[in-house]
Structure 1
Amino acid sequence: MWFKNLCVYQLAEGFALEPEALEGRLAPFAFQPVAGSEPESRGWVAPIGRSGRQLVHASGGRMMVCLQTEQRLLPPAVIRETLDERVAEREGREGRHLGRKEKARMKEEVTLDLLPRAFTRSKRCHAYIDPQAGWIVVDTANWREAETLTEDLRAALGSLPVRPLQSETSPQQVLTEWLAHDRFPGDTEPGEEAVFEDPRSEGAEVRCKRQDLRSNEIRAHITAGKRVRRMSLTWDDRLACVLDADLSVKRLKFLDVVQDDADDREPESAEERFDADFAIMGLELARFLPRMLAWFGGPAS
């Protein structure tokens, strides 16, 4: 089970729950399919997939969990079309124009009527808790989705003091200096993608793909006053990613040397494969995340 994106939270306090105790806390909040009149349902499911039964998968001192969301798909155009038909029918029957409040009530009625017939869509969001390192790692590129998972985890546990990963020095400043002076850490190589933003003009940005980030053309953007918001890089020949100035990691890819370690093992079941991949991934990220923070002066105090 290889994460493709990372949003990392720092635990403000130690995490004392063992896997069995965490399982007990999550069980009352296990996923239930969305009811006919509900637009959405969320709950915890087995991280390993449909074949699993445990809501917590533990390996190497880390605990994997998975939040499933099921939503009913009801396009606004469908609601609007049905509402227009009902409004026209009622206005013709009563011989008057309906007011805004009446239409708003009818819209609610239309939505409730259509929901049970709407298709559903499910998505899963995995995360793991690393008590020793003191963080929660969420497999998403979206902080809003990560916040949904941590909020639901907090609801199950009663308390979960966390904050998004923060560094002592501005990542944007450091990334910009790397490119401006072509001075990268010895274990880091720039990729071929970057996003620059102009702090003097809101919304102004330049996106570069398949570009030599060490070129004079790229450096000219920095000379013109732009700053790096996002940049692709390779670390220690073990993983590649796009690093955002908010310390989220996107399009994470574990490279051949890591994948070869995983392929050397011969698990006998899907659960053993999941466990082996989780163990290797956890070890790699346990090395990478502290190194990433070190680039930016360490964790914020």
Structure 2
Amino acid sequence: MWFRNLLPYRLREGVAYDAEVAEARLAALAFTPCGSLEMHRSGFVPPLGPEAPLVHAAAGSLLLCLQQEEKLLPASVIREALDQRVQEREAAEGRKVRKRERDRLREEVVVDLLPRAFSRHKRTWGYIDTEAGFLVVDAGSEKQAEHFVEQLREAWGDLPLAPPETQMGPGTVMTRWLAQQEHPGDVELGEEAVLEDPNAEGCEVRVKRQDLTADEMRAHIDAGKRVRRLALTYAERVSGVLDTDLGLRRLRFGDVVREQAGDRDAETEAEQLDADFALMALELRALLPRLLEWFGGERAA
């Protein structure tokens, strides 16, 4: 249970460390498969497997898993079936099928094909850190994270949260790190960055396997570009690509953390997941407040 991305949300009110209460809230939005005429559906599933509870508690955090099902109907399949139906209608009635009628036929085709469509399932993980007051979502995009948050809010009913805001803009601070070659002592810069020109939409520079202390990088900054993403490592324990939205993509845990996980001899997959999650939650509980400190601390709500 190691997240690949970290998108944080600040809880505006406390949440009790009580898995049973949390499960009672999520039960109304537990996952059920799509009906024969449904294109998609989402709901919460047990993180530790089918026979486990909907919420898993460990290390002061509540682990959740949202599952999405989407029926796959390729456009080419719909188009082929529609063309055949249109041809049959025109041949039978000796007239041209107009656009409005064609649209109705397309809807009929989709309804007929849906029961035979394959399903694709996708899971999004997240957890509520009841001690630090964060919701952390493992999502590669903001859209995916927002869907998780929307579903959680719908199930929970009263969960006020929002992305954290810092006193200083992350982009401004990270640009200064490169320009002045000065950054916090617990930060080690990686070899990847994205810089953009705030005055020219779509104008950006992406570098990989690049020495970020090189004169070339400073030249981009002197030309007016600002950092949007920056690869870094925190205290030799956690690394990733930090975005100006405070999301950490391509999350990786250092050898020292992995060795701690390897020291635990779990007998089942569920026990291993529990142990890994507890260790990860504690690591990220230390990282998140420090991440906010890099940018002047959290702005009061």
Structure 2 length-normalised TM: 0.96
Letter of the structure 1 residue corresponding to residue 284 of structure 2: L
| CA distance in 1: counterparts of 2:159 and 2:90, whole angstroms | 53
Structure 1: unaligned runs, 5 residues or longer: none
Note the alpha carbon deviations across 1:171-230, whole angstroms, 9 max, x for none: 111111101111111011110111111111111111101110111111111111111111
What's the CA shift string for 1:30-55, capped at 9, x where partnerless?
Answer: 111222211112111111234x4211
- The residue number in structure 2 matching 1:22 is 22
One-letter amino acid matched to 1:227? R
Task: Provide the residue aligned with 2:145 in structure 1.
Answer: 146
Q: Kindly, what percent of the aligned residue pairs are identical? A: 53
Distance in 2 between residues matched to 1:203 and 1:34, nearest whole Å: 39
Q: Report the alpha carbon displacement of residue 82 of structure 1 after superposing the two structures with TM.
A: 1.4
1:278 is displaced (CA, Å) by: 1.0
Q: Which amino acid is 2:93 matched to? A: E
Contact 1:141–1:249 (8 Å) recurs in 2: no
Q: Partners of 2:164 and 2:105 in 1: how far apart?
A: 45
1: distance between equivalents of 2:256 and 2:16?
A: 34
Partner of 1:35: 35
Aligned residues: 300
Partner of residue 12, structure 1: 12
1: CA distance between counterparts of 2:17 and 2:40? 29
d(CA) in 2 for partners of 1:34, 1:181: 55
SS at match of 1:252: strand
Could you tell me which residue of structure 1 aligns to residue 204 of structure 2?
Answer: 205
**How far, CA to CA, are the matches of 1:242 and 1:186 in structure 2?**
18
Which residue does 2:252 correspond to in 1? 253
For the residue of structure 2 that corresponds to 1:300, the secondary structure is: coil
**Any stretches of 5+ residues in structure 2 without a counterpart?**
none
Verify the 8 A CA contact 1:9 1:137 in the aligned structure 2. yes
Q: Which moved more, 1:113-122 or 1:92-101?
A: 92-101
Alignment check: 8 A CA contact 1:188 1:233 kept = yes
Amino acid at match of 1:44: F
Q: In structure 2, what is the Cα distance between the partners aligned to 1:78 and 1:165?
A: 44
Larger deviation: 155-164 or 284-293? 155-164
- Aligned position for 1:227: 226
2:79 corresponds in structure 1 to 80
User: Match of 2:25, as an amino acid?
Assistant: R
Q: Give the RMSD, CA atoms, in angstroms.
A: 1.3
DSSP 3-state at the match of 2:185: coil
Per-residue deviation, 1:92? 2.5
Shift of 1:150: 1.4
Distance 1:159 1:238 in 2: 35
**3-state SS in 2 of match to 1:68:** strand
User: Residues 123-175 of structure 1, C-alpha deviation per residue, up to 9 Å, x if partnerless?
Assistant: 11110001221110001121111111111111112122111222221111111
Paired residues for 1:1-301 under 5 Å: 1-16=1-16, 18-50=18-50, 52-301=51-300
Q: Distance in 2 between matches of 1:205 and 1:95?
A: 57
Shift of 1:83: 1.3
Cα drift, residue 8 of structure 1: 1.0
SS of 2:52's equivalent? coil
- The TM-score normalised by the length of structure 1 is 0.96
Shift of 1:96: 2.3
Q: Is the 8 A contact 2:191 2:209 kept in 1?
A: yes
Question: Which 10-residue stretch deviates more, 37-46 or 249-258?
Answer: 37-46
Q: Deviations over 1:55-76 (max 9, x none)?
A: 1100011100100111111111
**Matches of 1:148 and 1:60, distance apart in 2:** 26
Displacement of 1:17 in angstroms is 6.3
Q: Take 2:176 and 2:91, find their aligned partners in 1: how far apart are those partners?
A: 68
Write the letter of the residue equivalent to 2:89.
R
Secondary structure of 1:285's aligned partner:
helix
Matched residue SS, 1:125: strand
Q: Which amino acid aligns with 1:213?
A: L
The whole-number CA distance in structure 1 between the counterparts of 2:214 and 2:167 is 29
Contact preservation (8 Å) 2:175, 2:226: yes
1:100: how far off? 2.0
